[in-house]
Chains A and B, each alone.
Chain A
Amino acid sequence: MTATKAPTEPPSQQRVVRRPGDRIFSGAARTSGIFILLVLAGVAAFLISEAIPALTASSEDIPGGEGLAAYIGPLIVGTLLGALIALVVATPLAVGIALYVTYYAPRRIASALGYVIDLLAAIPSVVYGFWGLAVLAPKLVPFHEWAADHLSWIPLFAGPASTSGRTMLTVGLVLAVMILPIISAISREVFSQAPALHREAALALGATRWEMIKMAVLPYGKSGVIAGAMLGLGRALGETMAVAIILSGGGAATVNLISNSNPSTIASNIALKFPEATGLGVNTLIASGLVLFLITLAVNMIARWIVNRRADFSGAN
């Protein structure tokens, strides 16, 4: 490599940066990090400055005529509901897929299978939208009717069933498919990196494959799965076009998943209303964007808290 070096530097104390190369490299790394903070601050500043007119306006001037809270409230419910369904459906599936690809599938085709799942991430959201509208929604109509008949004692399925299937339930499922590759790709990566020694030790002790996974793989991959789920949740919360195309939105806040009047989501509402919005309407939409931003902030705070409660299995700690 380069010239001779004094082989005495303790690796973990990066305060003792002596070489110019090190200084430049760590400087570049730090600058990138700070740059990201600046971009985020820029986005936040933009959102806040554009939202202020809507926050201070009298409630009659807000679209709908009942004030900002009445306008954004249902949207918040819709956003959270859709993303929550997606997360609940997608996370176990994605973990299952990742385990299948890393530890169950025949080895020769395993990487090809992973690749096939990654394909789901490649499909543009507009296509998801039209697939959901034209293919999935009609297919789910019988389920909607069945749920309205048999499960109506659960508030989620109170009905009456939508005749087109373009409901919050369908949207949640489409979102689940959309975030599946994100969660499974990251889970796969961390599962396959679980220390071979641990896994071999487990098997050597007579563990079945599942016990080996439970003891050696899952604890190691937990933080990766949660990180993947958070990435997926971020996408589900902010997904715009697919929701805008599929959902029959614009209704009041409700947890009823199967009727045709659903609360819209924040992002899709912006997409639907923005092109024709003028004046205070634009400010109101951006204020709703600010709310979405805050929701993500809160969601991430909670997720981080969950991750931090557990021991960190990272190799670099």
Chain B
Amino acid sequence: MSTDIRSAPETSSPAQGPVRVERRLSRLALWGLYLAGIALGAALSAATGFSITSTAVYGVVLGTLAVYVATRVVQGRRKATDRLVTCLVTSAFAVAMIPLASLVYTVLSKGLARFDGDFFSMSMFRVVGEGGGAYHAIVGTLIITLVATVISVPIGLFTAIYLVEYGSGRLKKAITFFVDVMTGIPSIVAGLFAYALFTLLFGNDFRAGIMGAVALSVLMIPVVVRSCEEVLKLVPNELREASYALGIPKWRTVVKVVLPTAVAGLGTGITLSVARVIGETAPLLITVGLITGTNLNPFDGRMATLPVFAYYQLTQPGTATQAFLDRAWTAALVLIIFVMALNIVARLISRLFAPKTGR
């Protein structure tokens, strides 16, 4: 979709002849200035008791400042502001990488210990202490998330379509507003709601994976709606009008023109929403609980799920503590891998189905 116009070459390459001859700072000089700033930051940090964090903070601030001042002197205010923003934006990205790297390192270093065949082929059925696996929890998570997705995506997508294509007046306003409200339902309240709903309908001793799926749907639907709505809004009206002009009925316009145009964004939105709920612990704790064996039927009986499994392995380990912790971190690693796989699938979908743009 994206037809980015990048102005990077123009700011740095001297090949582009400006009309008026002006002095420029070469890219090398800019990097030199930035590094000098960081070196100064390190020195400052060393003076006040060395630490990596203060080095980074001082360094980035001073480096950015050095680049800004130099550009300002040599090339003027506008270029300087541009460089400043470039520095800030890049720093923002770098800052966000720090927790990610730390998290991934933590999960990998602790999770690889039990990332073996047994983990994927065994359940905890009759396993005491070491060994065992999370087969039952993996299957449970897949089933419950799949059911939740099957419930949420049609409802969410249709609602988004309603809001963007059909909706008008008070109903549209009400839905938009209350979807926002729904995003704020704490996950545990969604769990309590699903629990109350099913015990009301099917009696006290009813426990099934579907309860968890419904709880997750309550959390998932607003995310689907909100992100799909945002993406659908961005489909240019010209496309719709062109389609109408050809005499295509509205619903076919939506299905054949609007949705394919937005499919990349829809994929991202839905993947995000799945990612949002697949690691959800609290509502599943209340609704589906935890068992040690495998249950493939989401309509009868408790099920194990990865987040709940990980939670109890972490919080209620036995005397062989390390074995429990290893299983917990591996479960977390598997969860992350699932979402990564989902992301790849979403990307493939958008690549396969997105219409070719003219550019």
Contact = CB atoms under 8 A, between A and B. Distances in A.
Contacts of A209: 7-8, 11, 82, 85-86
B282 A46 contact: no
B282 A271 contact: yes
B187 to A, nearest CB: 5
The interface centre, meaning the residue of B53, B163, B181, B280 with most chain A CB atoms within 10 A of its CB, is B181
B4 A29 contact: no
Interface string B233-265: 111110011001111111111111000000001
A86 to B, nearest CB: 13
A46 B197 contact: yes
A293 interface: yes
A270 B189 contact: yes
A92 B251 contact: no
A4 B247 contact: yes
B265 to A, nearest CB: 5
Interface string A21-35: 110111011111111
Contacts of A125: 279-281
Given A96-B89, A121-B276, A185-B268, A296 B185 contact: yes
A181 B90 CA distance: 16
Contacts of A102: 2, 4
Contacts of A103: 4, 6
Interface string A108-123: 0011010111111111
A100 B88 CA distance: 9
B275 A116 contact: no
B296 interface: no
A58 interface: no
A71 B168 CA distance: 42
Contacts of B231: 189
Given A33-B167, A121-B339, A131-B106, 18 more contacts: A6-B247, A7-B247, A32-B155, A32-B157, A36-B178, A39-B218, A40-B178, A99-B89, A104-B89, A123-B279, A135-B102, A189-B265, A209-B8, A213-B85, A230-B180, A240-B282, A300-B177, A316-B235
Interface in A157-205: 177, 180-182, 184-186, 189-190, 192-193, 196, 199-200, 203
Interface in B123-164: 154-159, 161-164
B92 interface: yes
A120 B100 contact: yes
B307 A123 contact: no
A186 B227 contact: yes
B5 interface: yes
Interface in B174-202: 174-190, 192-193, 196-197
Interface string A275-301: 000000000001001001101110111
Given A127-B332, A293-B185, A196 B106 contact: no
A190 B4 contact: no
Contact of A316 (B92, B237, B253, B255): B237
A227 B226 contact: yes
Contacts of A251: none
Contact of B188 (A2, A9, A240): A240
A21 B249 contact: yes
Q: Name the 7 nearest CB pairs between A and B, nearest first.
A: A124-B279, A296-B184, A96-B92, A122-B339, A7-B247, A238-B186, A29-B162
A60 B320 CA distance: 44
The interface centre, meaning the residue of B106, B107, B186 with most chain A CB atoms within 10 A of its CB, is B186
